Structure 1
């Protein structure tokens, strides 16, 4: 499973009568594909993974697989309680997903041995490449990261904690003990802001929630970062991504709520977020719309 460029984490549209709005999700993904993402991560954090039922998760994954048509890898979210994670893993494999992003188990905290058992069980159930998500209660040291990377089927690590010192040591340890083919990527919310720092420690891939609503901006930033267009990359960080992070930080859960609202602002009715997330306040929506227009103007795209 080869991942490259900007990684697309679509939102999950909900129909008015409840359930996943598959047609809108398919349109959302097909629109994103025209801007060249390196992979589609469906039913993950931006896709409100914690709020999806098992049946809704399956609809989202099948829709993504059909919408991409094999153009790029489709990675499905899985995790939480072990029983749910096993079912999600099996149904993602049956739906044709190319891999899993394994979210941390919630509430229950066990020792390193317990986490290894959890990851092993999900990897065996899926028979798919598994990317681990380090965030929340999962905070790895180099030795524990290497131990998890040795589990058959584990092929990558997404970092959502942002401890650059710790992550640098993990990258060095896994490169030394496992080899160069293990995948790392920056999974912080609005990862573009911190991507120059991650690139410096050898982590070239990153997730992009902004790709959901301004794929033109996200693709231009990725191209500038990879192609030496430092002036554009710096301007986007300063005048678009940094203000977006400031706005995102005003209310817990805005990392998802603002993205979904911005997709609606650009004309695709994805429905509201689900509790415990809340919709952005009117003044925050106004700022979001201003930032969206400003970001598009910076890359010469129409609002």
Structure 2
């Protein structure tokens, strides 16, 4: 469930986490946040630059719902938090200084994305170190040993997640990971300015890990769980499709972007519809398989 946290929910800032590299697009803080049921939880709050705010929040919410659908672990609570302009942390204000924010100016508040802290580290922090030549190999081995890797491979294929990396996979314990961050979906960087082309391919990091772990030519038996997940997730998407559309339209309304919201929402649903319907055939072709019993 995606919760709505009111403007008194940001209790205090604990620390600044990071700025997104490659340009000013997001600023994340760790804060104590009061959720709608009154519980105060350590929560990551991600503020987005004005031009990308709607796109990023929609992606995070849409990706969260789809990830939930396939049964991958995620933060236990996620939501959209309303933050009054005067309560925006100085670190965030400084990060976006000079950027025109008509929404915040007109309404006196803005929205940010909130996720309850999982309380653990990402695989990037665990495995990738500048002085460790085995970092990539260790990461690949850990991913390959993960029972849910086929779920992630197939999910990323049909939601078009081209930004999967070790930094958004969180270690819980051995053979148990959670996934976070869904900022880049539908096979494009920014659907506000790019058409969605469901037939186009993109880099699926989880699938690359699988192929590398199997020497580039996985045996048909090793491929069976991926093809099975492709079928399972196609059926699950059919059951979620209408709710995905309704929630996405509601989010557009909340974010006050009614113009073309139905067109964008239909394009998201159509993209996933095509990708789920063709997922099994696509993986069969990529893996140079003829037919594998599932």
Instruction: Please report the TM-score for the alignment, with normalisation by the length of structure 2.
Output: 0.27
Structure with the larger helix share: 1
Instruction: Please report the TM-score for the alignment, with normalisation by the length of structure 1.
Output: 0.26
